[in-house]
Chain A
């Protein structure tokens, strides 16, 4: 489904590489975990796979498309349709309600949100168990609820793959466990999940684990 081939990346010319000859493959329906210490290149790899970042060298192929060669607008379009992201912090817009936050991806085309899209956003909130808190502002939700709203936002456009950058990193163990359960449920429903984590207990739940150290894959999946 998604292949990274011989990725190299450095954030500046002459700077030490963050990724060095990294090749990984994610299959449809995988729950893949990218593990490694801080600075190992986990987030950089996730950003390259999700089209947020172009590698200095190498290719990413998705559905026979070479993502690294796609023009900017096609990469943006892919993030609106096939790919979605969640982060360590929920990063909801604090001035919008839970439902409005979930509807934000529908504004990417700078058009008013259609009634159908609103229904989809509401369904998405229901999917993460927060339909009854649709009108609440993020500040009135718990940390776990905020992260679930972020997941609902990611799911609103029915993506093929979800890229999660340490989604449990800022949550307590119990809440983190709930988020993991939710991600596993979504994966079981057919969503491909690629998650960055440094917590071995979560990686143990994954169908594929990619270990990174100093920008290199140390243990192939």
Chain B
């Protein structure tokens, strides 16, 4: 027999009430565990989706520029000493940083200003598989080129050059075929023609060179500044620019999802704690005579306090185990039910389980503390007189 015998036996005696308390508390914990997992999964999913809509790091060659202006009129910057990035080496360097797992896509570009049928137009050489990864909002009519002989025309460029699917288009003396026409994107992509980067490099006589590389980085739990710094270390000759606004928007969206989950969890846990507190309060009222007898037998105020708190903690511990397992199961089912496509298997994490167990035990004790304090403060003589 030990001090836990009294609360354990009392809980067993009031089995339906105990079971109800455990189930309700476990439901609260399960909701919190499931919401926590789902918010992480949804955050990651959202981040991946958002990453698919654009890059957030730009790698350009370090060039010397000169600001040109006269008479108060700015004429912009003029680049001299034009430089390029070696594609293979740059991509290899990007894939070598410590946070390489956070790099989703690295897409090199080579831009060529030329004329097509007498109309000045920009031709951008891209690696189509990488570009598709970085611009999933592209919906080219016709599709992507199967070889380096095909091009994809932006909506405005196709209109200006009267290009349609299958039409030949001559760029710098080489004939290409329009494999796809982009729907309007509202971006600069509408005004240019996209061709295979190798073909464009060849036309410009700049093989394996690129003007810039766009990088989409996954930033859940990793500061974009750190990725930028790592890229700068492996590419000392390049200029690495984080597109802060894009990153901030993504992080804000993810943070919102997490804050929402946290707020809902807090409300659920507060309700569960209030329920535990009420259960202990009711128990104290029912067992005033027992408290009087225990005090008469020499139990101190702190001893009585501990017994009642222990009862709540036992309920909390049982609820923590059930709640965590229930939350894990729910987290596996709900994404499928919502058809969110954000499902990710719930991996049992011993550390997280231990943390949940400890946190719920502390919360239960905290919730039970006020009524337990009331029990401890009960005047034993008054309790015995009321017998």
**A47:B384 contact, CB within 8 angstroms:** yes
Closest to A118 in B: B1
Counting CB contacts under 8 A, is A63 at the interface? no
Closest to A48 in B: B381
Residues in A whose Cβ lies below 8 Å from that of B296 = 50, 52, 79, 85
A21 vs B6: C-alpha distance when bound (angstroms): 41
Residues in B whose Cβ lies below 8 Å from that of A47 = 381, 384-385
Task: Give, as a whole number of angstroms, the nearest-CB distance from B20 to chain A.
Answer: 18
Residues in B whose Cβ lies below 8 Å from that of A30 = none
Counting CB contacts under 8 A, is B256 at the interface? no
Task: Give, as a whole number of angstroms, the nearest-CB distance from B302 to chain A.
Answer: 8
A106 vs B294: C-alpha distance when bound (angstroms): 11
Counting CB contacts under 8 A, is B306 at the interface? yes
**B13:A91 contact, CB within 8 angstroms:** no
Task: Give, as a whole number of angstroms, the nearest-CB distance from A168 to chain B.
Answer: 15
Say whether, besides A87-B384, A110-B306, A96 and B5 are in contact (CB < 8 Å): yes
A107 vs B294: C-alpha distance when bound (angstroms): 10
Q: Which of A76, A78, A93, A118 contacts B299 (CB 8 A)?
A: A76
Counting CB contacts under 8 A, is A27 at the interface? no
Counting CB contacts under 8 A, is A77 at the interface? yes
Residues in B whose Cβ lies below 8 Å from that of A52 = 295-296, 380-381, 384
Number of A residues whose C-beta is below 8 Å from B?
39
**B387:A113 contact, CB within 8 angstroms:** no
Q: Which of A50, A53, A112, A165 contacts B1 (CB 8 A)?
A: A112
Residues in A whose Cβ lies below 8 Å from that of B12 = 95
**B289:A91 contact, CB within 8 angstroms:** yes
A87 vs B383: C-alpha distance when bound (angstroms): 12
Task: Give, as a whole number of angstroms, the nearest-CB distance from B315 to chain A.
Answer: 16
Counting CB contacts under 8 A, is A100 at the interface? yes
Chain B residues within CB distance 8 Å of chain A: 1-3, 5-6, 9-10, 12-13, 289-290, 292-301, 303, 306, 379-381, 384-385, 387
21 A-B pairs with C-beta separation under 8 A: A44-B381, A47-B384, A47-B385, A76-B298, A78-B298, A85-B297, A88-B387, A91-B289, A91-B387, A93-B6, A95-B9, A96-B6, A104-B6, A104-B297, A106-B1, A108-B297, A108-B298, A108-B300, A108-B303, A111-B2, A153-B297
Chain A residues within CB distance 8 Å of chain B: 43-44, 47, 50, 52-53, 72-73, 76-81, 84-85, 87-89, 91, 93-96, 100, 103-113, 118, 153, 165
Closest 6 CB pairs of A and B: A80-B298, A112-B2, A95-B9, A53-B381, A79-B298, A108-B298
